[in-house]
Chain A
Amino acid sequence: MSLFDYTLSEIHNKMNGGELSPTDLVDQAFKTIQERDNRVGAYLTLDEEQARATARKLDDKLKAGGERGLLFGLPVGIKDNIVTEGLRTTCASQFLSNFNPVYDATVTKKLRKADSVILGKMNMDEFAMGGSNENSSFHPVRNPWNLEHVPGGSSGGSAASVAAGEAYFTLGSDTGGSIRQPASYCGVVGLKPTYGLVSRFGLVAFASSLDQIGPITKNVEDSAYVLQAIAGYDSMDSTSANVEIPDYLSALTGDIKGLRIAVPKEYVGEGVDPVVKEKVMDALKVLEGLGATWEEVSLPHTEYAVATYYLLASSEASSNLARFDGVRYGVRSDNPANLLDLYHESRSQGFGPEVKRRIMLGTYALSSGYYDAYYLKAQKVRTLIKRDFDQVFEDFDIIIGPTAPTTAFKLGEQVDNPLTMYLNDILTIPVSLAGVPAVSVPCGFAEGLPVGMQIIGKAFDESTVLRVAHAYEQHTDFHKNRPTIVSE
């Protein structure tokens, strides 16, 4: 059994008992990365020297018996669109291949304050645009359960590394499902918090009204710990919500008696693989056995979510990515003829095809004559989608469905058809548009690949989401399964 198979509480108990030190954990993390990451490809940048120095300081702190942070000694990988002072942050783009941030994101600061140890930066789809992690401009990530399959995206590196035991936990970012979908494909726990709960200061913006940072972990308890450490109001972020942060750990009671669950018929209908549906229905039986009840409901505007999302997210992306012009940071084209040529050439050389495609779509949707037909229309449909959720939450505590319609597909299988790829996110996108929290937890396997169940809650009710996920996890063993790559 690897140290990475212990829960966070068990790790801390071992540290208290003197059986384990932060340096032991970091040693094991780098050993595992060395053994496996040439096959998985989850990391873009490693920071071994700094990680070991931090671990040594924590060793001293442990010996001295002083106050310890919530994530004491735990090795973490950070998605490469979250800035880390002095540690290269590329967004998996050639454009930022030489970019070293001069400040820390708020979540990075919080992780350091909680005494975790930053191992390095995780591979991703370029600028978080993609659902398979094949859009990294460095190299794709492979799914640890089957290396011929994708890990999901855009936080594919963050999810695959946890599944492969290459990081104790990681941070990802979720715009239309980019934490939950790869967590589902890789058989780990991925939480997208309510929009505004976790500061976005220092997250390289893709679609500002949707982006949210969240944890990817092996189990729900660890997820609650990490959320506790990173949630909270931040005056550096104008989209930060000033709400009281509850004690997420005390919410993990195991008690869900009387809980009312809604199951949208659109989430288990046409387009969802029958095996995926079967696993989620089995999971509902487990929850029923624990005293919850469930009923089928309708989220009638679900079928409009993907179109709405791609118009809104691409429009926001085209605006956010306008800052990448080769003047103040990033890669600059050689010998530009003039200033305009510098902009055009730097952007054309620096961005990959998916990023260009979304910038083009967004620029078109926002251009004169089309704004009302596309962007404004999509914002109105977003209202209808949000109302669907509000209505269901009047009568129910939680919504449950699959995280993705299928298990992880093969590398290269959908790469030439962006629309097909976009439809993989049909079950995660509505949640993002409504801004509510959701977690993906493993609920079974189909042909050796993990299936994820999505548990969706009311805004700022992460406590209930985590409570249900934890209760389910206590009565199943799916989260304890490990891919073959781990036992080799």
Chain B
Amino acid sequence: MNISNQDVQHVAKLARLNLTADEELVFTEQLNAILQYAEKLDGLNTENVEPTTHVLHLSNVMREDEERESLPIEKVFANAPEEEAGQFKVPAVLE
């Protein structure tokens, strides 16, 4: 499996990253090397092997559906790059 420059551009778009031309070149080379190394997994027969997503048995943490106080609004916006009228401000989505 070889990753092309176009593949890298496509993945960057999915990952919401803008890459410079230099970054594209370096990542194409490095991702190819890493994925080529990962191909060693193909040599293992994993038929009928269950995947391990987690080493623990997990169950969701539930609580009673009771009304309780939310985070104070000043704390919600304490780290916001931009806020206005009690909302996170972002560039207009609709013209």
B56: nearest chain-A partner, CB-CB: A196
Q: Are A347 and B17 in contact (CB under 8 A)?
A: yes
Q: A310-B34, A364-B31 are in contact. Are A304 and B44 (CB under 8 A)?
A: yes
Q: Does B50 contact A (CB under 8 A)?
A: yes
Digit string of B35-71 for contact with A (CB within 8 Å is 1, else 0)? Answer: 1011011101010011111111011110100000001
Of A328, A356, A359, which is within 8 A of B79 by CB? A328
Q: Does B11 contact A (CB under 8 A)?
A: yes
Q: Which parts of A338-375 form the interface with B (CB within 8 Å)?
A: 338-345, 347-348, 351, 353, 356-357, 359-361, 363-364, 367, 374
Q: Are A307 and B40 in contact (CB under 8 A)?
A: yes
Main secondary structure of the interface of A (DSSP, over half): helix
Of A209, A237, A364, which is within 8 A of B54 by CB? A209
Q: A344-B16, A380-B46 are in contact. Are A419 and B56 (CB under 8 A)?
A: no
Q: Does A1 contact B (CB under 8 A)?
A: no
A355: nearest chain-B partner, CB-CB: B17
Digit string of A325-337 for contact with B (CB within 8 Å is 1, else 0)? Answer: 1111111100011
Q: Are A338 and B61 in contact (CB under 8 A)?
A: no
Q: Which residues of A contact B79 (CB under 8 A)?
A: 98-100, 102, 328-330
Q: Which residues of A contact B40 (CB under 8 A)?
A: 303-304, 307
Q: Are B33 and A419 in contact (CB under 8 A)?
A: yes
Q: Does A259 contact B (CB under 8 A)?
A: no
Q: Does A11 contact B (CB under 8 A)?
A: no
Q: Does B85 contact A (CB under 8 A)?
A: no
Q: Does B21 contact A (CB under 8 A)?
A: no
Instruction: Report how many A-B pairs have Cβ atoms within 8 Å.
Output: 159
Q: Which parts of B1-26 form the interface with A (CB within 8 Å)?
A: 3, 7-8, 11-12, 14-19, 23, 26
Q: Which residues of A contact B82 (CB under 8 A)?
A: 332
Of B30, B56, B81, which is within 8 A of A330 by CB? B81
Q: Does A276 contact B (CB under 8 A)?
A: no
Q: Which residues of B contact A336 (CB under 8 A)?
A: 91
A236: nearest chain-B partner, CB-CB: B61
Q: Which residues of B contact A241 (CB under 8 A)?
A: 56
Q: Are A235 and B52 in contact (CB under 8 A)?
A: no
Q: Are A360 and B8 in contact (CB under 8 A)?
A: yes
Surface stretch bound by B, among A109-117, A286-294, A381-389, A441-449? A381-389
Q: Does A378 contact B (CB under 8 A)?
A: yes
Q: Which residues of A contact B91 (CB under 8 A)?
A: 336-339, 341-342
Q: Are B53 and A379 in contact (CB under 8 A)?
A: yes
Q: Which parts of B66-89 form the interface with A (CB within 8 Å)?
A: 71, 75, 78-82, 88
Q: Are B46 and A361 in contact (CB under 8 A)?
A: no
Q: A102-B71, A238-B60, A419-B34 are in contact. Are A367 and B55 (CB under 8 A)?
A: no
Q: Are B16 and A347 in contact (CB under 8 A)?
A: yes
Q: Are A382 and B18 in contact (CB under 8 A)?
A: no
B57: nearest chain-A partner, CB-CB: A241
Q: Which residues of B contact A377 (CB under 8 A)?
A: 41-42, 46
Max chain A Cβ within 10 angstroms of own Cβ: one of B23, B27, B51, B56: B56
Q: Does A239 contact B (CB under 8 A)?
A: yes
Q: Are A364 and B11 in contact (CB under 8 A)?
A: yes
Distance in Å: Cβ of A169 to nearest Cβ of chain B: 27
Q: Does A130 contact B (CB under 8 A)?
A: no
A307 to B44, CA, bound (A): 12
Of B14, B26, B80, which is within 8 A of A367 by CB? B14
Q: Are A102 and B56 in contact (CB under 8 A)?
A: no
Q: Are A100 and B51 in contact (CB under 8 A)?
A: no
A241 to B12, CA, bound (A): 36
Q: Are B81 and A331 in contact (CB under 8 A)?
A: yes
Q: Are A307 and B80 in contact (CB under 8 A)?
A: no
Q: Are B53 and A209 in contact (CB under 8 A)?
A: yes
Q: Are A328 and B61 in contact (CB under 8 A)?
A: no
Q: Which residues of B contact A345 (CB under 8 A)?
A: 18
Q: Are A363 and B15 in contact (CB under 8 A)?
A: yes
Q: Are B51 and A307 in contact (CB under 8 A)?
A: no
Q: Are A434 and B78 in contact (CB under 8 A)?
A: no
Q: A360-B27, A360-B31 are in contact. Are A379 and B51 (CB under 8 A)?
A: yes
Q: Are B17 and A381 in contact (CB under 8 A)?
A: no
User: Can you list 8 pairs linking A and B with CB atoms under 8 Å apart?
Assistant: A310-B34, A332-B81, A339-B93, A360-B8, A363-B11, A374-B35, A380-B46, A383-B49
The 10 closest A-B pairs by CB, nearest first: A435-B55, A379-B51, A329-B79, A332-B81, A380-B46, A102-B75, A307-B38, A363-B15, A348-B18, A382-B52
Binding site for A on B (CB under 8 A): 3, 7-8, 11-12, 14-19, 23, 26-27, 30-31, 33-35, 37-38, 40-42, 44, 46, 49-56, 58-61, 63, 71, 75, 78-82, 88, 90-93
Known interface pairs A318-B15, A348-B19, A357-B27; 5 further A-B residue pairs with C-beta atoms within 8 A, sorted by A's residue number: A100-B79, A339-B91, A344-B16, A356-B23, A363-B15
